[in-house]
Structure 1
Amino acid sequence: MSTGLRIKLLRAKKGLTQDQMAEQLDMNRANFSNYERNKAVPPGETLMKIATILNTTTDYLLGGSDNPNRIPEWATPKDMKDFKELLEEDGDLMFDGIPLNHDDKQKIKDVLTGLFWEAKQMNKEALKKGKQKRQNNE
């Protein structure tokens, strides 16, 4: 499935129009329509914004994953609780002592989302290998 079709299907699922998407992306409808029709490829930063609006990942939009959800299918309720706590920690996010604006905070949260789930998956795989190794040694 193409990037444009993935964007179009998720946009429709969320009940958003092309005009609404274009407005949130600070562009005109024709430009956004070109993305859905595969006439143009969204630049990286725009693709990240589209993924955020549609509550998905850039990996899904680009065809690297067939899971449109931000949360992996293997995540347990405890994993999701841990992740929620990570993102909801109190305190301002700052860089060099200056509070970050909303867009910059969202970019950091998007990066943390990917890193968190990647680390969680690596830990689960390591635990599984450790259990298998112990079972083989018994």
Structure 2
Amino acid sequence: MKFNERLKELREKSKLTQEQLAKISGVSSRMIQRYEYGTSRPRLDAAEKLAKALNVTTDQLLGNGDMLVAQAAEKYGSRGAKQAQQLTEEVTGLFAGGEMAQEDMDVMMKAIQDAYWIAKEKNKKYTPKKYRSEE
């Protein structure tokens, strides 16, 4: 399930309108609308606010793939988020139609995420200065 579907499902399960969720979370109703339509992805801080308002963990709200994208965006900007998004789409394709148990898929996804972060750190010294974020 994609983030936008998960957000809408959790909001409706909590019997909240987009406006009510906005008021509770502190995230604008316009952004919630964009998240639910799938035209935007939340930054990690916004996802944390929404998760708290919906009484779920950030992991539950974002899921493994979207959590990686949010963390990559937070740490490496839009370029990192795009790379993480491509990675999760490719990995998700590997799982489609397979007979692997959900638990095994979660372990595999976690291992791939760990490998992604290690590679990003190792390749940091090779990133052109104009793409490096200030830390």
Q: For this structure pair, what is the TM-score category when the shorter chain's length is used for normalisation?
A: 0.3 to 0.5
Structure with larger Rg: 1
TM-score, with structure 2 as normaliser: 0.44
TM-score (norm. length: structure 1):
0.43
Higher share of residues assigned helix: 2
